[in-house]
Structure 1
């Protein structure tokens, strides 16, 4: 099952603006190696899950993975061929707003060459430019 909040105060929220630059989660805290974003954007819950599965496929449960983002923003969409008006559409999917410089994934407990191959493969699953850190 994809990640989404259990309970939120409001079911639908306004779009808001992107965080251009990240100031809070910019250094490694739990693992030795990680993926860091180089640009801002949205990462959906399905992209996060496919990235996590890609890392697990290579490290084969030998290390530990820390997910440093969570999809807590609902994105709504109206069905196809529906006339304008009649309110906002229903929640379609959940996204995480990523600022430039944010740590997305961290891994630890594995060898550096295995970590590099796993994170390189995982970066191809994300829609934003990323860089590997800790090597």
Structure 2
């Protein structure tokens, strides 16, 4: 029984101290709570294979074709990603913050870690990167220099900054997947972070706002083009292309 109902049923005079107190504090009662409705995921469809598929350690070649060797091609890791830099399912995923290479061991680590954490009944995960395809060569221990290019040691997948590595979705909220996505991102050989569609939209708006409201006249582009301090002596063509934003 609350105080207001108790005072109405019992007829007696209130003390002078209670009369001086505002009515809100005397007849205070619990109010109605209006919580927002939880989000609905009726539009989400769970695929037949909700977990990440197994990735081949070595690419497949047709019979009779020798596996070709390749140069380092560091340009495959430099600069921003221009194609796979968005979430297809508009939910959650892992985004690379810098360039690097993914080995087969990293693929297995992500597959096992995410497969143990997601609920296949209402969650799913998909790859957004190709299986290892770029060959890296290495010579045996103790060999002398020369003698041609070494044999293929293993295969990797080059990654650029802004590339979506893995995408997770389903009938779940970001708080449910943030923990294990962040743990997986910390184990990758380059800087990465767990993202959602809301986080990516917010970062994009903030970056546009900073570029639009920048009051510093000496931007990186102005400094490099005008050779302030003789900075062009130690800059590479990639610095002029990306204006110091990507290493």
User: Which TM-score tier does this pair reach, normalised by the shorter chain?
Assistant: 0.7 to 0.9
Which segment is superposed worse, 20-29 or 49-58? 49-58
Output the CA distance in 1 between the equivalents of 2:187 and 2:116: 13
Can you list the C-alpha shifts for 1:3-29, whole angstroms capped at 9, x where unaligned?
A: 332128752101112332110100001
- How far residue 33 of structure 1 moved from its aligned partner, in angstroms, is 0.6
- Structure 1 length normalisation: TM-score? 0.88
Contact 1:59 1:114 in 2 (8 A): no
Q: Which of these residues, 49, 59, 64, is aligned with residue 5 of structure 1?
A: 59
Equivalent residue for 1:90? Answer: 151
Q: Which of these residues, 84, 102, 121, is aligned with residue 183 of structure 2?
A: 121
Kindly tell me: are residues 30 and 74 of structure 1, through their superposed partners in 2, closer, same or farther at Cα, counting changes over 3 Å? farther
- How far residue 101 of structure 1 moved from its aligned partner, in angstroms, is 0.5
Output the CA distance in 2 between the equivalents of 1:19 and 1:45: 21
Summarize the alignment of residues 73-84 of structure 1 with structure 2, pairs less than 5 Å apart. 73-84=134-145
Equivalent residue for 2:79? Answer: 20
- Structure 2 length normalisation: TM-score? 0.50
Contact 1:55 1:121 in 2 (8 A): no
- How far residue 93 of structure 1 moved from its aligned partner, in angstroms, is 1.2
Kindly tell me: are residues 61 and 81 of structure 1, through their superposed partners in 2, closer, same or farther at Cα, counting changes over 3 Å? farther
Is the counterpart of residue 64 in structure 1 residue 145 in structure 2? no
**Greater relative contact order structure (CA < 8 Å, 6+ sep):** 1
Output the CA distance in 2 between the equivalents of 1:124 and 1:114: 17
**Structure 1: gaps of 5 or more residues:** none
Contact 2:118 2:124 in 1 (8 A): no
Tell me which structure has the larger Cα radius of gyration: 2
Equivalent residue for 2:95? Answer: 36
SS in 1 for 2:80: coil
Contact 1:2 1:49 in 2 (8 A): no
- How far residue 65 of structure 1 moved from its aligned partner, in angstroms, is 1.3
Output the CA distance in 2 between the equivalents of 1:97 and 1:125: 16
SS in 1 for 2:166: strand
